[in-house]
Structure 1
């Protein structure tokens, strides 16, 4: 994944994560796949900390959904 696409993906996730819930039409598993794909990329430290926050927010949503 190139740097520009990676940055766009992180920005998109940062935008939607506060708005999603376990009851949404798009399942949390979709968002888990998106976050995991970003986690698997080569991240600079600032991106890594942002993705860590996204991962934690999603983990909380997943725990609430169970």
Structure 2
């Protein structure tokens, strides 16, 4: 996955994660897998930082579901 594709995926995930909740139809685990996939492909420090921020947001969402 090239850095342009990583950037596009990050932009998409940032929009989605900002709007989801633990009770949504698509489980949080799906979004975590998507973010993990982007993080694995990320090479630029800014991309890695943004992916880690998304993981932190998903962590908080999962905690609020319990």
Q: TM-score, normalised by structure 1?
A: 0.89
Secondary structure of 1:6's counterpart equals helix
Q: Distance in 1 between matches of 2:14 and 2:21?
A: 14
Shift in Å, 1:11: 0.3
Q: Does 1:17 align with 2:17?
A: yes
Alpha-carbon RMSD across the aligned residues, in angstroms, is 1.1
Q: 1:22-54 deviations in whole A, cap 9, x for unaligned?
A: 100111111011011011113211111111111
Secondary structure of 2:18's counterpart equals helix
Structure 1 unmatched runs, 5+ = none
Q: TM-score, normalised by structure 2?
A: 0.89
Mapping 1:32-47, distance limit 5 Å: 32-47=32-47
Q: Does 1:58 align with 2:24?
A: no
Structure 2 unmatched runs, 5+ = none
